[in-house]
Structure formats: C-alpha cells, structure tokens
Amino acid sequence: MFFGGFPGGGDPFEEMLGGGRGGPPADTTALYEILGVERDASDSEIKKAYRKLAMKHHPDKGGDPDTFKKMTEAHTILSDSEKRSRYDRGGIEAVDSGGGGGNPFGFGGGGRSSGRKKGENVTRPLPVTLEDLYNGKTKKLKITRQTIDKESGVKKCAQCNGRGVVIRQVRMGPMIQQMQSQCPSCEDGYTYSQKREQEVLEVNIQKGAVDGHKVVFHNKADEIPDGDAGNVVFVLKEKPHDLYKRHGADLYIEKKISLVEALCGFTMELPKLDGRTLIIKTKPGEVTNICTFDPFAKDGDTEQEWEVIEDADCDLEDMAKADTDDVDMLKQAVAKGQLKGKGIGCFVMRNSKASFKQGSRAECLKAKKAKKGSTMYVLQDESIAASTRMMKCVEGEGLPLMRDPYQFGNLFLMLTIEMPTEALSEEATEKLKTCLPPPLNTVSADEADENVDTVFVSEMDPVASHKEGLFTGKDSYDEDEENEGAAGQRVQCAQQ
C-alpha cells in the first residue's frame, strides 16, 4: 500500500449481520434516512448533509428541538467510524451495547459473523493544525494500492487445489514421511494477477475532532483474492500551536499583564483560529486576581482537599478498610490508588485503623454521628475547590464541539503579572497609597528601641542558599588538616 493520502465506503459485512438469530433483522437504515443519505455515503457526504439540515432545524434558528436532537445523534454515530461500523452490522442496539447487536458471537473489536477473510488494515497518522480542527477541512490525498485484475480473474490453484500448501513424501531410511510446504505455484491457494492503481480520496477533518480521532475508508487497502480488502485508517495527530493550548473543547493562552492592568483593567487583542481578530476587555476598575491552577496537570496530580471532623464517625457501610494511621497514604489511595473512582466520600480513623465509606459528601455528612476518639475525613465541598480554580474566561471562544459544531468551548486566560522593575518614587508611592486599600501588615514596635532590629529585604536564589547552608563535615576536616600541618604534628588517639 502506497500513500499520498486517504474516502469512505459501506460496511463489507452488512449482508451477513442483522438481528438476533431467529428474530427480526436489525434496522440499519434509520439513521441514514434521518440525514437523507445513502448507506454507502462517505464521511464528507454525511457531514455536508448534517450541516445543511442543522442550519434549518437548529433550535436557535426556530427549529424543532426533538428533530435536531435526532439529527445530532445520527450524525454522532455515523461520523464515528467504529460506531458506524457497529450500527451497519447490528443497528442502534449494537451501538448501545458496544457489540454486534443480536449476534450471539458478538462483533466488538471488528469481529465478523462468517469465515470470510478480510485483508490487513493500513493505519497512517495525519498531522492537523488547530486551525484545521477549529474550521474543519477536507484534504484530498492520493493512495496507491494493489488491486486484483478483474479481466484475468481469480482461479483456484490447480497444483494445491486451493489449499496454498502441497504435501510431498520424503523417504528417510526405511520410513516414508509426509512433509507440508508452501505451494510453489501460488501464495494462498489462488492464482491471479495484480496491478497498482491510484485513487484520490477525501479526508474529512470534522470541526472539534480530538487528537487521535480515526477517519476510516472501508475496503480501500490492498485487495485479496478470497475476501474483502482491508480498511485505510487515518489517525489525526494535532500539531502544537504557537499561541493556544487545547484542553478538550477549551482553549488556553498564556499572557502577561502589567500591575496597572491587573488593578485597573486591561484590553488585549488576540488572533482567532478562523483568521478574525478578538478584542478582550475587563470591566472598568475590575481587579484581576492571578490563579495558579494548572489545567494541564495529569489526572490525580491535583491534590484533593479533605475536611477534618474530630470525634465523629459515619454510619455508612464500610467499603474498604486499612490497618494504618498514615493519613497521607489513605488520601493517596482515594486520589490515585486502588480506591480511585470507587465513589469514596469519606474515611474514618480510629485506633490506627481506617474505614472507607462510599457516598457523596452530602450522604457522608448526613450519616455523621458523634464518637469520641474517632476522626472523620470528608472530601471538601467541590464549590470550595472550584473557587480556587476561577480564571478569566471568554465564553464561547473555544473550539467547536464535535457532537454539535454550533456549540463552542471557552477561552481561558492564563495570566501572570509583570511587576515594575524599578523602584517607585516617594511621590508615586504616596499617591498609590491614597488609591489602594490599606496595608494588611502594620508595625507596633518602636524601631528606636534597642531590642528591635530593622532590616531591608533583598532578592536571593533559595536553591543556592540551601546548598551553602548544608553541613557535610568536609570544611571542618580540611581546616583541622591545615592546622595540624602548620603545627607539624598530628593528634593520636590514646590507647587504653
């Protein structure tokens, strides 16, 4: 298989798959009818049909919400290669169950209901820009593949009778042994002629597609004589952007603002991914607080906060127990360890033993009871944690949602304040004091008192300071060596 690029076709197993054995066949056409396309429609045709209908039926444009919902569900399934394949084999039930509908053997993972062979799939990455994912794009690419010459046809090999192997007898002394070997006239039991063909295919990059999204072109890989050609699978690989970072449907941008902008408001200009210009403003006089939350931290890296309630227990059933009083280890077990994702809302410590309770924060607090000597650890209210993550945001200026390109994520500003590098004049300092709230720190001690020391702060590297303060014993040993050398003698330990 030779690549210059990658279209879609129908499912090669549709004639073999239907409803359950003995039951009515599964409906594998309804979603196509909703969008008004044929079952062998390409990804590009499905996208165009959905966009045309969405402009007519979107609720924001006066359309019927139920109709739009059905269209969106149909588009979501048919635009996903794996879901579409399951739907073509077993209807909507196969999509919901993740398998092959009523077929008792299942079809998850690309299984088939018959012994019909399928050629190897070909997978290739396709680098895409953030602009491509924002605007959507169709790329025309060329592939070169091996096809079977239909004029000469496919014939069963006469020498091996289609088995692909031949049996020959070999005499080994007094014994005759049968040995199996590859047929010299064919490779797989068939004789046929192949030729190389080129085809230009359209790769539809959907708006809001995620990194790693697969675009599948059915039966477009090399052909085989006794089965269906494999699929060409194209995997989208998102390129890093010079300005924006992506997190789901949200966009993030790092920007510096001055102290004046942080205190008095700012106006900034940003280029949008569709080529337009975006001007962002804060309200006049709005103070900008800097958030240190890292949205790109790996799952579990953000520490969960716990509320500690002394002399309290919880009546909920124990979900797990641990024989330890290491509170940090218990918290890590919930955040990153074997209890992650188990719905643990609290744990109770008593006599160096811990019992974990499954439930929401509200359920844990409702089941709380007084118990002397027990300590209850409850996950902090999410609204409190959320308050520490609040960032400046421009709503609706993120990426389109893949399930509905008429809805958008948000644009977050990761701001840092660039402080003045030069000292302010005394006059400017006094003016600032009249405009700003009073200081939080005050001094009551008399600087003239002999028991009071007055110092000024400076800047220093804490890492260098730490290294200088480390005691290794080396300096002391070297100093003793020098003093002993100067005296011309060494101190020896007295023998008892």
**What span, in angstroms and rounded, lies between the C-alpha atoms of 215 and 418?**
45
Fold of 306-387: Hepatocyte Growth Factor (3.50.4)
Supply angle C-alpha 390, 391, 397, rounded to 5: 125
CB 235 within 8 A of CB 134: no
Helix and strand numbers (H, E) in the chain are 12, 25
CB 57 within 8 A of CB 64: yes
Residue 247 has what pLDDT? 92
Amino acid at 171: R
For the chain, give the mean pLDDT.
80
**Is residue 148 very low, low, confident or very high in pLDDT (cuts 50, 70, 90)?**
confident
The angle, 0 to 180 degrees and rounded to 10, between the axes of the packed helices 65-78 and 43-57 is 170
Fold of 2-147+197-235: HSP40/DNAj peptide-binding domain (2.60.260)
**What span, in angstroms and rounded, lies between the C-alpha atoms of 373 and 354?**
13
Q: Greater confidence, 55 or 78?
A: 78
Q: What is the pLDDT of residues 79-97, one digit of tens each?
A: 887 788 888 877 887 777 6
Residue 491 has what pLDDT? 42
Q: What is the pLDDT of residues 323-359, one digit of tens each?
A: 988 998 999 888 888 888 889 999 999 999 999 999 9
Sequence spans of domains, the chain: 2-147+197-235, 155-191, 306-387
Q: What is the pLDDT of residues 237-291, one digit of tens each?
A: 999 999 999 999 999 999 999 988 998 889 999 999 999 999 999 988 888 888 8
Amino acid at 300: G
**Is residue 296 very low, low, confident or very high in pLDDT (cuts 50, 70, 90)?**
confident
Least Cα distance to 84 among 201, 231, 211, 222 occurs for 231
Lowest average pLDDT, out of 13-27, 58-72, 81-95, goes to 13-27
Amino acid at 147: T
**What span, in angstroms and rounded, lies between the C-alpha atoms of 404 and 73?**
10
Q: Greater confidence, 338 or 471?
A: 338
**Equal fold, 2-147+197-235 vs 306-387:** no
Residue 113 has what pLDDT? 42
Least Cα distance to 141 among 234, 26, 272 occurs for 234
Above 60 in pLDDT, residue 171? yes
* Residue 495 backbone phi and psi in degrees, to 5: -90, 130
Amino acid at 250: D
**What span, in angstroms and rounded, lies between the C-alpha atoms of 217 and 203?**
9
